[in-house]
Amino acid sequence: MSILFENRYYTDNKMLSEYVHKVLCKRIYFMGAVFAPIAFIMAGITMMKKDYIFTAVFGVCLFIIIFTILVTPPLTIRQLKENNKRLLNGKNHEAVIQFGDNIKITQGTFSLTMEYNQILKIYELKHSYVLMFAKSSGIILDPAGFTTGDLNTFKEFIRTKVA
């Protein structure tokens, strides 16, 4: 197997935070933006009508929505770090992602091989480039971490493989 592209990097907090906020928690933010104003408005309407039971219900809903929006991203980041630490025996190994006939990911003793047709969505972010292969799982690449090939050529390559 000849390697067409290789990406190497050490996971940092910027990449992980961006991945969580802009990819994994994107739907939570969207749902919160839709339902929080509705709960707020309904709490106000029921309060004006002096229906305090429904005011309390909508108030609790609003609290749960806002609490979820604020707490989920930090908990997700912490969980990802803990899983990564457990997977790599507490060490921060360099991630090596190689693209050839298939995608090979190596980090410490962990190794995974994937096919291109498993990629469902691509996210181009400020500090990372993400290839999603499941709703909540993706391959994070460092845009500056290409040791073989470069990001612009890789973008064209991956789009032809995924399409």
Q: How do the domains of the chain map onto residue ranges?
A: 5-11+92-162, 17-86
Instruction: State residue 101's pLDDT score.
Output: 92
pTM comes to 0.85
Helix H or strand E encompassing 50: none
- What pLDDT is recorded for position 89? 82
pLDDT bin (cut points 50, 70, 90) of residue 86 is: confident
Sign (positive or negative) of CA dihedral 133, 135, 139, 142: positive
Dump pLDDT digits (tens) for 49-68: 999 999 999 999 999 999 99
Q: Which CATH class is domain 5-11+92-162?
A: mainly beta
Q: Which residues of 53-83 are buried (b: 16+ CB within 10 A; e: fewer)?
A: eebeebbebbeebeeebeebbeebbeebeee
pLDDT of 1 over the 70 cut: no
User: Of 115, 110, 119, nearest to 137 (Cα)?
Assistant: 119
